[in-house]
Structure 1
Amino acid sequence: MIRRLGPALLVVGLLLAAWQVAVTVSGVAPQVLPSPARVLEQGWAFRDALWANTLPTVQVTAIGFAVSLVVAWSVAVAVDFSPWLRRALTPLLVASQTLPVIAIAPLLIIWFGFGLLPKVLVIALVTFFPVTVGLIEGFAATDRSATALLRSMGAGRWQRFRYVRLPGAMPSFFTSLRIAITYAVTGAIFAEYVGARAGLGIFMQLQRNQFRTDLVLAAVAVTAALSVTLFGLTYLVQRLVTPWYRGDHR
């Protein structure tokens, strides 16, 4: 753990130290650029407000990402079973990434109000593509010799999918999952910026309007910590779901 995280922590520590020295020497106003020490101090002083706004963000992230996973798995499995669907849906999946979420999000607020639904839809739109493509490519990259062996033994299409294609797609799925989970938090923050009653996004917006740059950066730090935590949890889930893959890549 120390060997893996040590270099990254060292770089972060050096950057924070350089930031602290630069702010102290230059005497820049805290409203423009607060020091890391001030960000930490004010973040701790307003910890209750930060926590109260973190919970709605975590909630909407979890719900939106769950919806995205359900839809992504449904589409990917359907595409794997039907070559016609693969040819029909793949161009649409690619085209979906050309849609500017920054333009669609306000429309979702107009259509569905300031409740949970528009924020869930924004997160699903942001995370759906990487998970779906990761699964489709993972299914397609399955060992053909193993599939042929099961076919020669009389296994049906569903059995081949269950025992060969599904396990073979797991490494690709978890790679795409790690990409998507960071997008999910970003999507939740952006959706709250567009329209929300609570959440880290609305907290940042309110503090920015009051020129509390220190609290904005404190909320950014909380968002980063949340993203890193969710990113790390994907490795734990992968170890539980695919112990064979862990054993082959020690």
Structure 2
Amino acid sequence: MRDVFMKGWRPALVLLLLLFIWEVVVNVAEIPGWLLPAPSAILKEMIVGFDHFSAHLISTIGLSVGGFIIGCSIGLLVAVILHLVPKVQEAVYPLLILSQNVPIIVLAPLLVIWFGFGILPKIIVITLVCFFPVTIAALGGFRNTPPEMKHYMLMAGASKNQMFTKLEWPNSLPALFSGLKISATYSVMGAVISEWLGAKKGIGVYMTLASSSFRTDRVFVAIFIIMILSLLFFGTITLCEKWLVKWRREA
């Protein structure tokens, strides 16, 4: 905990300094609130309007967590299949790369046409942004297994299944958690984008209503909440990594 504090006070100090400069510039230049609200006004709106905002927040958290779990599970499953069946990897890997070249904001309206305005198209959007980092990170972890350890396992008579479960899988965990961290932050962004498709509540809906009514302070409230959620998800994955990958920290 002390190490976290020692490493975290510098970025926190820089953030406070930026907010202070922002506050001073807005007040000195007398910038209207609908154009650029001061941090104090944003904080006030966040506190005063929390009761109205909380329902949207809970909806987005549930959607983000659900989509993250599904997307990462699919990404990990795809990575294992591609690793264990090299011929499938040769055929499918280029398609995975191409799938990431389709903008989600363009694909989202098509998902509404195909699957309606329910939760399914929203989960698909989050899954699409979450599975790819996990797949690539896990594949990289599998490939980076030390060759001398593979040679030792083969000399010991290990089967292909034992090679994967006892060596390649544990070795891939650090890389896998790197992909999970990226997907954790993407899941919030994917949830907000999916809520623009026609949801009844969520941070994306709150942001759209605030923007259309020129409530810029509420737009910034939504932006700050999205950033905080992303950091919380990232921190949760980091704590899980420290707990599960103890052998790397000890080494």
TM-score by length of 2: 0.96
Question: Where does structure 2 lack aligned partners over 5 or more consecutive residues?
Answer: none
Determine if contact 2:125/2:194 at 8 Å carries over to the other structure.
yes
Structure 1 segments unaligned to the other structure (5+ residues): none
Q: 1:13 and 2:37 equivalent?
A: no
2:49 is equivalent to residue 25 of structure 1: no
| Deviation (angstroms), 1:109 | 1.3
* Amino acid of the structure 1 residue aligned with 2:82: V
- Within-5 A mapping of 1:1-150: 1-150=4-153
1:241 to 235, 240, 244: 244
Aligned pair partner of 2:169 in 156, 166, 185:
166
Q: CA RMSD in A?
A: 0.9
Instruction: Give, as a single letter, the amino acid of the residue that structure 1 aligns with 2:105.
Output: I
Name the CA distance, whole Å, in 2 between partners of 1:209 and 1:141: 50
Aligned to 2:195: 192
| d(CA) in 2 for partners of 1:6, 1:132 | 34
Does the CA contact (< 8 Å) of 2:141 and 2:171 recur in 1? yes
The equivalent residue for 2:217 is 214
Runs of 4+ residues deviating >4 angstroms: none
Q: Which amino acid in structure 2 is aligned with residue 79 of structure 1?
A: L
2:71 partner letter: S
Task: Tell which deviates more after alignment, 164-173 or 147-156.
Answer: 147-156
Sequence identity percentage: 36
Cα distance in 2 for residues equivalent to 1:55 and 1:109: 23
Per-residue Cα deviation, 1:101-154 (whole angstroms, up to 9, x for no partner): 111001111211221111110011111111100001110110111111111111
AA aligned opposite 1:148: H
How far does residue 210 in structure 1 lie from its aligned partner after superposition? 1.2
Q: Which residue of 1 aligns with 2:155?
A: 152
Q: Is the 8 A contact 2:117 2:199 kept in 1?
A: yes
Query: Cα deviations across residues 127-182 of structure 1 (Å, max 9, x unaligned)?
Result: 11111000011101101111111111111101010110001001111111111111
CA distance in 1: counterparts of 2:102 and 2:6, whole angstroms = 41
Summarize deviations over 1:171-220 as a string: whole Å, max 9, x none: 11111111111111111111112221110000010111111111111111
Deviations 1:16-71 (A, max 9, x none): 00100011011111111110000000110000122110111111111111111111
**Superposition deviation, residue 2 in structure 1:** 2.2
d(CA) in 2 for partners of 1:70 and 1:124?
9
